[in-house]
Structure 1
């Protein structure tokens, strides 16, 4: 029977992304055959008894891919210490365990992918694969070209400098005596609250933020709070992009 690394097995069982599974292992929440495991090198198979926080986990052979239009006011983790509503609460397919791929801030809306395919989730969120994400943000004031160039070149926010991003003004809106802008921003990183911090750094704080695409997936007309399964073609498009990334890494 095939053996694979524990964190990969957990991701395929729909526990969480592989990175989050590694955190759970390090923190001592995972046991194999009744023994707590904290070693990343442990390998397991379907014949082993895997428990996470005392709950038995098994791999789901049926892979599920869901697109959700996340509303503001929902967290993108499975559980929350403050009992805030989770995006999982919006998914009524209770026959399978799924987890969010990446994250969207509590106050941010837009496209969120959920799956039980740990391998694909790992590849989509890994920085080396540079999956493009597109956001539309309403910001305070209207950014000047020199300010947007800071984002295009890469801007320091806190302890790091962002990778070069794309930004353009889509619309200007007059609000009383003030004018705000709607901007489109394209990034391929996934730092915590990155878009908000970038806009804050150039002096134009975000008022409202929405993600409209991830890779080749487009949110389209999916209503806020609703979800749908990805089509076979959409899943193939995700896999095609990641296959290209894997091939480029080998060359």
Structure 2
């Protein structure tokens, strides 16, 4: 029953103030810094927090997270005495270590951070860097909340070039994919400002002498018999190489889309969206690298 003099469903002034106070307290609590939070703490603060609050895990998980092998294979290595923790050989399966411990295999220190591999269909007007001094949108902003690990783009795409871009925290894989000796295969869909003449198409096929040397595509041809569109397969990672090839023959590239990179395509991935690579795709990438 409602109190005398009170309209049912209404709050008194005291009740309203009390309710607002509780709301404000809850709001403040939600916006308080959480230890280790990426959004509120600097990189240095996060590193300091991790050192003072090391994560505990089973040693086979530590080894698996490093990308060396699976947990089952890690147990085999431990049993054989091939793993050292803080300089001492260990053989105890199931032992617990922390992220502050030094775990080694064949003299190499292992990094326990889980390896992450992401594929982004890069949109236009985004820069392929972690931060941009001019305040432009970066690819990292698109995937910022995808995972707790910090990922980086593998190679670069121009701000207005769209398409396949790999992001990862696997430094070894990134270094190999971008090294000239790996010759990562890339395919671009090129939209031109005017029809590409047959003689120019043939010249591009034979190779183009640019200011930084001869560039010979692996393949180049019209797309769907449309002379204003071309598909070009190339291994070179030189800056703006596709645009410069066509500019050499007085064509302006109106739109450039990378549709293939090192075996990865943007199939079923809308522009501006991302996804994690499957285990099969990661295995394929690594097998390709080991075969080189």
TM-score by length of 2: 0.60
Question: In the alignment, is residue 89 of structure 1 matched against residue 141 of structure 2?
Answer: yes
Match of 1:211 in 2: 258
Preserved contact between residue 217 and residue 232 of structure 2 (Cα < 8 Å): no
SS at the partner of 2:119?
strand
Cα distance in 1 between the residues matched to 2:202 and 2:181: 24
Q: CA deviation at 1:109?
A: 0.5
Q: Indicate which of 199, 213, 216 corresponds to 2:246.
A: 199
Match of 1:160 in 2: 213
Give the structure with the higher percent strand: 1
| Structure with bigger RCO (C-alpha 8 Å, 6+ apart) | 1
Cα distance in 1 between the residues matched to 2:113 and 2:280: 20
Please tell me whether Structure 1 or Structure 2 has the larger radius of gyration of its CA atoms: 2
1:93-132 matches, within 5 Å, as: 93-132=146-185
Q: CA deviation at 1:240?
A: 1.4
Match of 1:72 in 2: 124
Deviations 1:21-44 (A, max 9, x none): xxxxxxxxxxxxxxxxxxxxxxxx
1:32-43 matches, within 5 Å, as: none
Unmatched segments (≥5 aa) in structure 1: 1-12, 14-45, 49-57, 174-179, 246-251
Cα distance in 1 between the residues matched to 2:157 and 2:168: 15
- After TM superposition, the runs of 4+ consecutive aligned structure 1 residues lying more than 4 A away are none
Match of 2:283 in 1: 236
Check 1:98–1:60 CA distance in 2 against 1; reply closer, same or farther (3 A cut): farther
Check 1:163–1:122 CA distance in 2 against 1; reply closer, same or farther (3 A cut): farther
SS at the partner of 1:208?
strand
Deviations 1:156-192 (A, max 9, x none): 222322143311101366xxxxxx6111110001111
The count of residues paired between Structure 1 and Structure 2 equals: 187
Cα distance in 2 between the residues matched to 1:146 and 1:128: 31
